[in-house]
Amino acid sequence: MASTADIKNGVVLSIDGQLWNVVEFQHVKPGKGGAFVRTKLKNVVSGKVVDRTYNAGAKIEIENVDRRDFTYLYNDGDSFVFMDVADYDQLNVSATVVGDAANYLLENQQVQIALNNGNPLYVEMPASVVLEITYTEPGLQGDRSSAGTKPATLETGYEIQVPLFVEQGTKVKVDTRSGDYLGRVS
């Protein structure tokens, strides 16, 4: 068992049989009364975010989470297959664990997977990825970057909003956290 002094960003706690990732924490020592630790926790499985306060020195249960580099190989229908970069072992990860990362996954792409006792918890994508636009309506003469946006389908099949001047076949940088267009890549 650990105490609240061991809480850091990124640590995974086990609370009531569920795993919670510490998003942020703050040690508070008021002028009156005992010190306490204010935390913002994110459920590893559901993504739900809650605020929780602990008295200083309270016992907490920290889970061992191993973040390792993997290469995405292919989708076999109901799961995604990844290869461990270190020992070349293959790991099948269900679509629910992969979640929104599936919108940006291309074969041979590097990702990080968090494992707890050999079970995959979540897939961590790079902050942004470069993908090609496979379909979008052609732009019209006079379209400007500030004029608005139009839908565009990426090579993964995911649809994002891009400026009117972006054409089919263009490589674009996409934010994996929000799905926003970040710019063209030459």
The answer, yes or no, to whether residue 90 has pLDDT greater than 60, is yes
CATH code of the domain in which 173 resides = 2.40.50.140
> How much is the pLDDT for 41?
94
Say if residue 165 is in the same domain as residue 114. Answer: no
Question: Considering the chain, what is the average pLDDT of its residues?
Answer: 89
pLDDT, one tens digit per residue, over 93-135 is: 998 888 888 999 999 999 999 898 888 988 889 999 999 999 9
Predicted structure pTM score: 0.75
* Residue 119 near residue 105 (C-beta atoms within 8 A): no
Total number of domains constituting the chain: 3
DSSP string over 136-168: EPPPPTT--TTS-EEEEEETTS-EEEEETT--T
144-147 contact pairs (CB < 8 A, 24+): none
Say if residue 178 is in the same domain as residue 145. Answer: yes
Say if residue 96 is in the same domain as residue 79. Answer: yes
Say if residue 117 is in the same domain as residue 133. Answer: no
Say if residue 73 is in the same domain as residue 110. Answer: yes
Residue 26 lies in domain: 2-63
Say if residue 51 is in the same domain as residue 91. Answer: no
Say if residue 35 is in the same domain as residue 82. Answer: no
Say if residue 104 is in the same domain as residue 138. Answer: no
- Give the mean model confidence (pLDDT) for residues 154-165: 91
* Pick from 58, 84, 80: nearest CA to 3: 58
Say if residue 138 is in the same domain as residue 159. Answer: yes
Question: What is d(CA 185, CA 92) in angstroms, rounded to the nearest whole number?
Answer: 32
Say if residue 32 is in the same domain as residue 84. Answer: no
CB under 8 Å to 100, separation ≥6 — which residues? 179
Say if residue 118 is in the same domain as residue 154. Answer: no
| Confidence band for 138, pLDDT divided at 50, 70 and 90 | confident
